[in-house]
Amino acid sequence: SCGGLTVERTSCPRCGLPGPGVCKNCNIDTVAYKNTPIDMKRFLEEAAKKIGLAKIPDAVKGAKGLLNESKTPEPLEKGLLRARTDVSIFKDGTIRFDSTNAILTQFRPQEVGLSIEKAHSIGYEKDMDGKPLESPTQLCSLEVQDLLISEAGAQYLLKASKFLDDLLSSYYGIDRFYDASKKEDLIGQLVVGLSPHTSVGVVGRIVGFTKASVCYAHPFWHAAKRRDCDGDEDSVSLLLDVLLNFSREFMPSRIGGLMDAPLLLSPLLNPSEIARQALNIETVAQLPIEFYDKTWQGAHPSEVESLIPTMNKSLGSDHWTIRFTHPTEDLDRGRLISSYKELPTMLDKVKEQLQLADQIVAVNAADVAVKVLSTHILRDLVGNLRTFTSQRVRCMKCGSKPRRVPLGGVCHRCGGKLVATVFRSGVEKYLDVATEMVERYKIRPYYHQRLDLIKLELAETFRPLPEEKAQQKLLISEFA
Ligand SMILES: [Zn+2]
Ligand SMILES: [Zn+2]
């Protein structure tokens, strides 16, 4: 409370002896935390007072416990300010908005909510043909680190910018940075894009908005996040948030705890460093007639590669003009939300996917079925069965989850009844669909046998269902 710097003190977790390194008595590592009662009300009131908050927000979300090694918490003030602006954080301390990646190479200022003046001020002075940008309907080439965020994303980042401004002014005592009151005020601001399971954030810049539930960006930008360029879901955070609130100290100390966090930032994107597949984009406005002739002969893609210039050819130069064969009138006149997101359950998604496969002549439905079976359904069945047999139990009364089933058969804390956390219905969820798929598409014996083995294992684990219940099972004929 005096504002001075603090020093980390460690002590033995067993006997309490203070000191760095290893405890002389117990020969175990000392730690920077210990159990002690604290006056939470006083801490909260002091924090609220410090940032000039007249009233503590009704609901302030916290965590049950700290997972990082030194059990370092964030300043309470940050949590209070976030609760006031109704934004929540990720385990690393940053505020994120997740959206599906979609690629974009050209845009009209008008269709993304960018005025001509603003376009000029952020560097768009010429259109894609090099003519001066004078009308909001001229097509411009999207710069490699520029992106469009969804309306919902814009509203969320707007709230995040308010939180950051409040944090700067009331906690750090310096000037507000964003001062954004509407989404257009976010144009030109820098963000950090991050893919799941990676730890390098890529800096990008907001240049406009889309009604679609996606993040439109240059294929290079999505590729720089180390992903296939389409369909995956990545997150976007405001750069200032990452710089101010991210800390490696907050990250869980267990294995894998450092994933999904911007441990490194990549401020400038170098096209020669991204995955080569991102360069497989044709750059021409017209495909030559030879190309169409080759398609009739069913030529291998490598045979026609030389007929169509791709970005691979531009590598090494500064010239990244990408042309297109079919123009569109308005970005937002297409489908705005992926049906993959709209379909509620995995079964619905599978059903629709197979129906599409059945309808499209160029698609081999049996191949699709094999892919879905081998990458999702069979794995899920096996995984769920394993989870079932090694599941933890939960006390119905106090909610405690003992690590192993107690021999007494009741909760060791309160004597309450113990119940399972994984159920048979969850394990067998995909069984009927899998069976139907294997039969309907005459799938090769390998998968047939794998499914039979799984069924055998299930039959050994569960008692057979009573007759009338068995009849209520779903048939895939309802699905495909
Ligand atoms: Zn000790
Ligand atoms: Zn209990």
Neighbours of ion ligand 1 (CB under 5 A): 12, 14-15, 17, 23, 25-26
Tell how far the Cα of 124 is from the centroid of ligand 2, in angstroms: 64
Q: Which residues 6+ apart lie within 8 Å of 409 measured at CB?
A: 418
Residue 147 lies in a domain: yes
Distant-in-sequence contacts of 438-447, Cβ < 8 A, 24+ apart: 438/373, 440/369, 440/476, 440/480, 441/365, 441/366, 441/369, 441/370, 442/366, 443/366, 443/369, 443/370, 443/373, 444/370, 447/370, 447/373, 447/374, 447/378
Q: What percent of the chain has pLDDT over 90?
A: 44
Tell me the ligand closest to 17's alpha carbon.
1
Residue 392 falls within a domain, yes or no?
yes
| 266, part of any domain | yes
Ligand nearest the Cα atom of residue 10:
1
Do 248 and 175 lie in one domain? The reply is yes
pLDDT confidence of residue 228: 62
- The verdict on 112 and 221 lying in the same domain is yes
Hey, is 432 helix, strand or coil?
helix
| 412 alpha carbon – ligand 2 mean position (Å) | 7
Q: Does one domain contain both 373 and 244?
A: no
pLDDT band at 243 (very low <50, low <70, confident <90, very high): very high
* 95 token code pair: 């505020």
Q: How do residues 381-410 score in pLDDT, each as one tens digit? A: 999 999 888 888 899 988 888 888 888 888
For residue range 116-128, list pLDDT tens digits in order.
Answer: 999 999 999 999 9
Q: How far apart are CA 166 and CA 171, in angstroms?
A: 7
Closest CA to 269 of 172, 366, 181, 204: 204
Pair 160, 241: CB distance under 8 Å: yes
Does residue 198 fall inside a structural domain? yes
pLDDT in tens, 174-213: 999 999 999 999 999 999 999 988 889 999 999 999 999 9
The answer to whether residues 459 and 373 belong to one domain is yes
CA of 394 relative to ligand 2 center, distance in Å: 8
Residues 6+ apart with CB under 8 A from 431: 381, 454, 455, 458
Whose atoms come closest to the Cα of 12: which ligand?
Answer: 1
Residue 472 has pLDDT above 60, yes or no: no
pLDDT value of position 476: 47
CB 125 within 8 A of CB 134: no
Q: Are residues 275 and 350 in the same domain?
A: no
The answer on pLDDT for 48 being more than 90 is yes
| Res 13 pLDDT > 50 | yes
Instruction: List pLDDT tens digits, range 244-257.
Output: 999 888 887 776 77
269 and 145 share one domain? yes
Relative to beta strand 190-194, strand 106-107 is unpaired
d(CA 72, ligand 1 centre) in Å:
21
CA distance 108 to 121: 16
pLDDT for the residue numbered 250: 82
Q: What separation in Å is there between the alpha carbon of 10 and the centre of ligand 1?
A: 11
Distance 399 CA to ligand 2 centre (A): 6
- Co-location of 260 and 367 in the same domain: no
What is the sign, positive or negative, of the torsion defined by CA atoms of 180, 183, 185, 191? positive
| Of the residues 238, 254, 279, the one at which a domain ends | 279
Task: Give the DSSP letter string of 24-91.
Answer: TTT-SB-BS-------HHHHHHHHHHHTT-SS--S-----SS--STT-PPPPHHHHHHHHHHT----T
List the beta bridge partners of residue 202: 193, 266
pLDDT tops 70 at residue 230: no
d(CA 97, CA 390): 34
pLDDT at 470 (0 to 100): 47
251 Cα to the center of ligand 1, angstroms: 26
Q: What is the pLDDT of residue 467?
A: 58
58 CA to middle of ligand 2, Å?
29
Alpha helices (runs of H) in 237-362, residue ranges in sequence order: 239-245, 289-296, 301-304, 311-314, 339-342, 346-359
Q: Which CATH number characterizes residue 113's domain?
A: 2.40.40.20
Residue 276 — pLDDT band, cuts 50, 70, 90?
confident
Between the CA of 23 and the centroid of ligand 1 the distance, in Å, is: 5
Pair 193, 234: CB distance under 8 Å:
yes
Asked if residue 381 belongs to a domain, the reply is: yes
- Measured between alpha carbons, how far is 441 from 373 in angstroms, rounded to an integer? 11
Do 243 and 349 fall within a single domain?
A: no
Write down the pLDDT at residue 311. Answer: 85
Q: Which-ligand-closest: CA of 414?
A: 2
How far is the C-alpha of 418 from the C-alpha of 392, rounded, in Å?
A: 10
- CA–chain centroid gap for 119, Å, is 30
One domain, residues 265 and 176: yes
Domain end residue (candidates: 279, 310, 328): 279
pLDDT of residue 318: 66
- Distance between Cα 257 and ligand 1 center (Å): 28
**DSSP β-bridge partners for residue 206:** 147
Ligand nearest to the CA of 22: 1
How confident is the model over 94-108, as a mean pLDDT?
93
Distance 187 CA to ligand 1 centre (A): 56
Mean pLDDT of the chain: 88
Cα separation, 39 vs 136, whole angstroms:
59
pLDDT bucket at 349, cuts 50 / 70 / 90: confident
What's the pLDDT score for residue 172? 93
Residue owning tokens 């603003």: 118
The Å distance, Cα 312 to ligand 2 centre, comes to 63
> Over the stretch 132-165, which tens digit does the pLDDT of each residue have?
999 999 999 999 999 999 999 999 999 999 999 9
Q: What is the pLDDT of residue 350?
A: 86
**What ligand is nearest to the CA atom of residue 19?**
1
Q: Are residues 264 and 371 in the same domain?
A: no
In a domain, 459, yes or no: yes
Contact residues for 164 (Cβ-Cβ < 8 A; gap 6+)? 177, 178, 238, 240, 241, 244
Per-residue model confidence (pLDDT) at position 429: 85
Rounded distance between C-alpha atoms, residue 333 and residue 201, angstroms: 31
Measured in angstroms, how far is the CA atom of residue 19 from the centroid of ligand 1?
Answer: 10
Given a contact cutoff of 8 angstroms between Cβ atoms, the answer to whether 427 and 388 are in contact is: yes
Ligand 2 geometric centre to CA of 393 (Å)? 11
Spacing, Cα 435 to ligand 1 middle (Å): 59
Instruction: Specify whether 261 is located in the same domain as 114.
Output: yes
Same domain, 241 and 165: yes
Q: Is the pLDDT confidence value at 473 over 90?
A: no
What is the identity of the amino acid at 233?
A: E
At 396, list the tokens: 């119905």
Q: What percent of the chain has pLDDT over 70?
A: 94
Residues 243, 455: Cα–Cα separation, whole Å: 52
If one counts the domains in the chain, the total is: 2
Distance 69 CA to ligand 1 centre (A): 18
Q: Is the dihedral of CA 215, 221, 224, 230 positive or negative?
A: positive
pLDDT of residue 95: 95
More confident residue, 332 or 317: 332
Q: Which ligand is nearest to the CA of 27?
A: 1
Quote the pLDDT of residue 192: 97
Structural domain containing residue 105: 97-279
252 alpha carbon to ligand 2 midpoint, in Å? 27
**Among the bound ligands, the one closest to the CA of 398:** 2
Which residues lie across from 147 on neighbouring strands? 206, 217
pLDDT at residue 478 above 50?
no
CA of 3 to the centre of ligand 1 (A): 32
Nearest listed ligand to the Cα of residue 410? 2
How many Å lie between the centroid of ligand 1 and the Cα of residue 327?
A: 72
Please name which ligand lies nearest the alpha carbon of 411.
2
CA of 29 to the centre of ligand 1 (A): 8
In which band, very low, low, confident or very high, does the pLDDT at 292 lie, cut at 50, 70 and 90? very high
- For β-strands 97-103 and 214-217, DSSP reports them as parallel
| Structural domain ending residue among the three candidates 227, 260, 279 | 279
> Letter for the amino acid at 121?
S
